[in-house]
């Protein structure tokens, strides 16, 4: 499934090829988020124009929106998306934990994921609280709650996650895991990691399809736990490795913490399996992640920020909603080869105006540009690696962004 093509001599970075029944992913690569089996704002025919190599759909959202009957009749993510390239689905666990935490504590607040006292007991779920048991996770679904009424109780475990992911029929699936928060103490983080390991074995046993499956390393912010988890998950017969956690500033983490966690994890992983960093994809993260030995990344940044008027260029981020762009006749970026900049030559003032009058075409054009931009950046990284100048490319690129 994974071919290691080239290793950098000065870092752990590498070039590889992940082969799936729907084509090859040249790595390092971005995996574009298509939450509900669609890339938000894009038509199916737009996706090839962005040079996207792979898409990750969201098991939790698809499961909750389709229901059991909808899933049983689901044509598979490729047909649903009308896209014939490689697709991944996540395990659903991260949404259960992060949505529970965000409901309990407010979005962006530091989450406290589980009440340790109720870990094993099978009591009714408390409002807005995720309850973890040995068998799986109980969760009060916020999308079905209103006012003071609790939402519908949801239960998800390794076997159900595997079953849903088989019905969704992506090329690559993920084992069910419990992401740990940087705020958990070591005792809880160890418990969650050991549960993740048992759920990894159950996920492997439950999978009956020919889909490729990635196991997920946890261990939070603790060096010895990260190493233990890398060695444990690395030794199981998974096709690839996901590196999980609650990364990102909204979970009280930082790029620096993540880099440390990668340093504690990657040397203990088998070299011949592809490594996916879950949910991280800012420009600096991509450079540092590639340097640390990550092969694929997924993150909502390119698509979500496009919808919020944030456009990425080789000089940094631009807010196209700002007044200064209202009279600017230039394209988003002269050095961008995307269809919006290079072919349609959409002017900044046109895009500014389209956002202003809430023309849905604005989100589409901005998304095409941003997704192309991130895919192109990864392509430039692969070229730099191939030519043995990744360090210089990184220094020059990040130095320019810092100005
Ligand atoms: Zn562009």
Give residue 304's pLDDT: 93
Q: How far apart are CA 15 and CA 28, in angstroms?
A: 6
Rounded to the nearest angstrom, the distance between the alpha carbon of 282 and the centre of ligand 1 is: 18
Q: Which residues pair with 7 in a beta bridge?
A: 14
Predicted TM-score (pTM) of the model is 0.91
* Selection from 231, 170, 172 nearest residue 27 by Cα: 172
Residue 247 is predicted with a pLDDT of 52
- pLDDT band at residue 111, thresholds of 50, 70 and 90? very low
- For 36-65, what is the mean pLDDT? 93
Q: What are the phi and psi torsion angles at 23 (to 5°)?
A: 115, 180
pLDDT at position 253, please?
Answer: 57
In this predicted model, which residue has the larger pLDDT, 151 or 112?
151
- Amino acid 110: pLDDT: 34
Mean pLDDT confidence for 243-264: 73
Closest to 18 measured CA to CA, from 189, 180, 214, 229: 214
- Residue-wise pLDDT for 324-350, tens only, equals 999 999 999 999 999 999 999 999 999
Per-residue pLDDT at 115 exceeds 60: no
Range among 124-128, 217-221, 251-255, 385-389 rated most confident: 385-389
Query: Does 90 qualify as catalytic in the annotation?
Result: yes
Any catalytic annotation for residue 169? no
* CATH architecture under which domain 2-89+167-300 falls: Alpha-Beta Barrel (3.20)
Domain ranges, ordered by start, for the chain = 2-89+167-300, 305-402
Task: Say how many C-beta atoms besides its own lie within 10 A of residue 347's C-beta.
Answer: 16
What confidence score (pLDDT) does residue 153 get? Answer: 81
pLDDT above 80: residue 375: yes
The answer, yes or no, to whether residue 37 has pLDDT greater than 60, is yes
Q: Quick one: pLDDT at residue 148?
A: 61
Could you tell me the distance, in angstroms and rounded to a whole number, from the CA of residue 50 to the centre of ligand 1?
Answer: 9
Q: Which of 8, 90, 140, 376 is the catalytic position?
A: 90
Confidence of residue 93 (pLDDT cuts 50, 70, 90): confident
Whether 107 has a pLDDT exceeding 70, the answer reads no
Q: What is the mean pLDDT of residues 57-62?
A: 93
Predicted local distance difference test score (pLDDT) of residue 246: 60
Q: How far apart, in whole angstroms, are the C-alpha atoms of residue 264 and residue 219?
A: 10
> Ligand 1 centroid to 17 CA: how many Å?
26
Using 50, 70 and 90 to split pLDDT, how confident is the model at 291?
Answer: very high
278: left (phi over 0), alpha (psi -120 to 50) or beta: beta
Whether the pLDDT of residue 59 is over 90: the answer is: yes
The CA 372 to ligand 1 mean position distance, Å, reads: 7
Segments in 266-359 forming alpha helices (H)? 283-292, 301-307, 348-356
Q: Is the pLDDT of residue 262 over 60?
A: yes
Say which of 171, 295, 298, 376 is annotated catalytic.
Answer: 298
Report whether pLDDT(61) > 60: yes
Which residues are within 8 A (CB) of 207 and not within 5 positions of it... i.e. 6 or more apart? 162, 166, 173, 213
């Amino acid at each position: 499934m994974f071919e290691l093509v080239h290793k950098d001599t000065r870092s752990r970075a590498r070039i590889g090829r992940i082969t799936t029944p729907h084509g090859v992913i040249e790595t390092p690569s971005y995996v574009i988020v298509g939450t509900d089996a669609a890339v938000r704002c894009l038509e199916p025919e737009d996706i090839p124009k962005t040079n996207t190599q792979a898409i990750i759909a969201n098991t939790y959202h698809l499961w909750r929106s389709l229901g059991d009957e909808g899933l049983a009749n689901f044509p598979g993510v490729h047909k649903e998306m009308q896209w014939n390239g490689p697709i991944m689905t996540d395990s659903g666990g991260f949404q259960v934990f992060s949505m529970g935490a965000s409901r309990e504590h407010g979005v962006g607040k530091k989450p406290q994921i589980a009440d340790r006292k109720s870990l094993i007991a099978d009591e009714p779920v408390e409002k807005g609280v995720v309850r973890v048991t040995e068998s799986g996770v109980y969760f009060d679904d916020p999308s079905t709650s209103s006012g003071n009424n609790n939402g519908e109780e949801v239960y998800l475990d390794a076997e159900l996650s595997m079953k849903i992911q088989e019905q969704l029929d992506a090329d690559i699936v993920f084992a069910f895991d419990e992401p740990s928060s940087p705020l958990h103490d070591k005792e809880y983080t160890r418990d969650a990691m050991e549960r993740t390991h048992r759920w990894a074995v159950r996920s492997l046993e439950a999978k009956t399809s020919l889909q490729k499956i990635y196991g997920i390393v946890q261990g939070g912010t603790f060096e010895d736990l990260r190493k233990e988890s890398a060695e444990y998950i690395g030794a199981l017969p998974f096709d690839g490795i996901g590196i999980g956690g609650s990364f990102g500033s909204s979970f009280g983490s930082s790029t620096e913490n993540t880099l440390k966690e990668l340093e504690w994890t990657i040397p203990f992983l088998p070299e011949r399996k592809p490594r996916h960093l879950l949910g991280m994809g800012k420009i600096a993260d991509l450079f540092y992640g590639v340097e640390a030995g990550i092969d694929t990344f997924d993150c909502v940044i390119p698509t979500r920020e496009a919808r919020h008027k944030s456009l990425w260029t080789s000089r940094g981020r631009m807010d196209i909603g700002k007044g200064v762009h209202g009279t600017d006749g230039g394209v988003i970026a002269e050095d961008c080869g995307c269809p919006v900049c290079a072919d349609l030559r959409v002017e900044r003032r046109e895009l500014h105006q389209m956002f202003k009058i809430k023309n849905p075409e604005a989100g589409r054009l901005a998304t095409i540009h941003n997704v192309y931009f991130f895919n192109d950046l990864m392509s430039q990284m692969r070229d730099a690696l191939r030519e043995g100048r990744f360090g210089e490319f990184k220094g020059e690129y990040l130095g320019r962004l810092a100005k």
